[in-house]
Amino acid sequence: MKITNALIQKFLDNQCTPTEAEAVSRHLKQYPDLAATYLRSSWGAAEGANELPAGYKAAMMQEIQVQIARHRRVVRFRWAAAAASLLIGTAAVWLFMPSAKTPAAALAERTEKKPVATASWKVQTNTAAKAYRFKLEDGTLVKLAPHAVVRYQEPFGRENKRTIYMEGEADFDVAPDKARPFTVHTKWFATTALGTAFKVSEKATSCQVRLFHGKVLIKSLVKSLKGWKKDVVLLPGHEMKYSVSAGTVTVEPFQVAPNRPTSTAVDQVPYQDENTLVFDNTPLPVVMKSLTDRYHTTIFYDEEQLKGKYFSGEVLKGDSLSVLLSVIANMNGLSVTKKEDIYIITQSK
């Protein structure tokens, strides 16, 4: 049977005969990218969007399969705008049904099984002009840049996986949990960490991952991505930049731009609570004073040498001051030495 666009649309509209539906479902399973195209088309028609947000294709496919096991009856596709969730129609049942079973047999088999508990999707969108901070259930702190969007399942950390889908730019201060890796998905990459602080920024033609402390592993989500030869492991104070058009990957130390606009003293005060200290492009003299107070230790430095230098990052309770000062020093062309219980910050020679 020849599979045409008209026949596929007929299939999605639940108007195919059993023979036609079986043929179309085999065709879509054989060509999953084609299936994704039609899912994207359905999304656009229902929501007025131009394309699916980053990571939605895989998330929707997973949700479809979960819902197939969960629902007792067959219903049509429809989209819930707030959570971008799916109710599965006859077309989806055919698409993921083993080809060797008849529709009646497969439906009977599903009826005998107990419903599978499913998680709900949570969407956080920053529509404000300044960054928005919130905390995930596992204790991870997220700073969402303006116009950025993140999407994750609740309860967060279900099935021992902490997974975030995002668009735009966000900072993550990950709560340590060796048993549950923390992974951020963008359109091209998956960045995984156990306990660390990093920034992910994705645009139409590039992606950037910047690591403040800890360690992250960056994997490509696209097969044969242009210029991408192997996974990247980032060390503190380094960033990975990928250019889509040029197909180039660079890993190098980063330094916050010194041309920061003049700010008030209130703007320079870092956010802090009992367990967290957050710097957002904070002048280094302010950073050093805050660290002195937090760690109850002495840090010697020349304010003139620190002028025009800044630091962004999150400090968690229990983080090593020695490691933190080394990261800040490497990022700003400084050196740090320790004599007894005193740290000395100087300009690198």
pLDDT score for 248: 95
CA angle at 343 for the pair 340 and 347, rounded to the nearest 5°:
135
User: What is this structure's pTM?
Assistant: 0.46
> What pLDDT, on a 0 to 100 scale, did the predictor assign at position 232?
93
Question: Is 80 exceeded by the pLDDT of residue 344?
Answer: yes
What digits encode the pLDDT tens for the residues 162-176?
A: 999 999 999 998 888
Would you say 188 and 167 are in contact if contact means Cβ atoms under 8 Å apart?
no
- For residue 73, the model assigns a pLDDT of 32
Query: CA nearest 56: which of 94, 77, 83?
Result: 83
- Looking at residue 99, what is its pLDDT? 43
Q: What is the mean pLDDT of residues 273-278?
A: 78
pLDDT at residue number 235 = 85
For 158-213, what is each residue's pLDDT tens digit?
778 899 999 999 999 888 888 899 999 999 999 998 668 889 999 989 999 998 87
Looking at residues 218-243, what average pLDDT do you find? Answer: 91
More confident residue, 312 or 345: 345
Selection from 17-21, 42-46, 57-61, 184-188 with the highest mean pLDDT: 184-188
Question: Does pLDDT of 9 surpass 80?
Answer: no
Asked whether residue 5 carries a pLDDT value surpassing 60, the answer given is yes
Q: For residues 55 and 75, give the distance between their C-alpha atoms in angstroms, rounded to a whole number.
A: 25
Q: Is the pLDDT of residue 140 over 50?
A: yes
Residues 90-107 have a mean pLDDT of 42
The torsion of the CA quartet 37, 149, 278, 343, rounded to 10 degrees, works out to 20
Token pair 């080809």 in the structure block, residue: 99
Q: What Å distances lie between residue 179 and 141, 160, 226, 320, CA to CA?
A: 18, 7, 33, 22
Kindly report, residue by residue over 300-309, the tens digit of the pLDDT: 999 888 988 8
Which pLDDT does position 254 carry in this prediction?
Answer: 82
The two tokens of residue 29 are 């399973």
Span 106-134, pLDDT tens digits: 444 444 444 444 568 999 999 999 889 99
Average the pLDDT over 35-53 and give the result: 47
- Output the pLDDT for position 325: 92
Torsion of CA 34, 230, 227, 222, to 10 degrees: 10
Ranking 11-15, 74-78, 246-250, 251-255 by mean pLDDT, the lowest is: 74-78
* CA 52 – CA 50 distance, rounded (Å): 7
Q: Among 82-86, 165-169, 296-300, which is the least confidently predicted range?
A: 82-86
